[in-house]
Amino acid sequence: MIDTKALQDIAKHYGKDLQLVKAQEELGEACAAIARYQITPSDKNWNELIGEIADAFNMLDQITFLLGAQAAVNHVREHKIFRQSMRIRKEKLAA
C-alpha cells in the first residue's frame, strides 16, 4: 500500500519548484529505462525499468498533490481512457 501521507510530507518538505525539477529528471530516467528494456529485454533492464517507473509515479503523485490537481488529473485521465476505448471499439467494428 502506498503511504500517501509520506509522499505528501516529502512533497511539502522539498516544495513545488524542486519537485518539478526532480520530476523531469525521474521521467527522463524512466524514458531511458523503457528504451533500454525495449532494445534488450533482460532481467537487469526489467528491474531497472520497474525502479524508474516507481520513481516516476512517486514524483507524479507529488506534483499532482502540490498543484492541488488530484481531481482534475483523475477527471482528464478518465476522459482520455474512455476516448481511447471508443477508438479501439470503432477499430474493431471496422475490421
**pLDDT 10s digits, 43-82:** 999 999 999 999 999 999 999 999 999 999 999 999 999 9
C-alpha–C-alpha distance, residues 67 and 41, integer Å: 36
Q: Rounded distance, CA 23 to CA 10, Å? A: 13
Gap between the Cα atoms of 55 and 52, Å rounded: 5
- Residues 83-91 have a mean pLDDT of 98
pLDDT of residue 93: 96
Average pLDDT over residues 83-89: 98
C-alpha–C-alpha distance, residues 45 and 88, integer Å: 30
- Work out the average pLDDT over 6-35: 98
pTM: 0.92
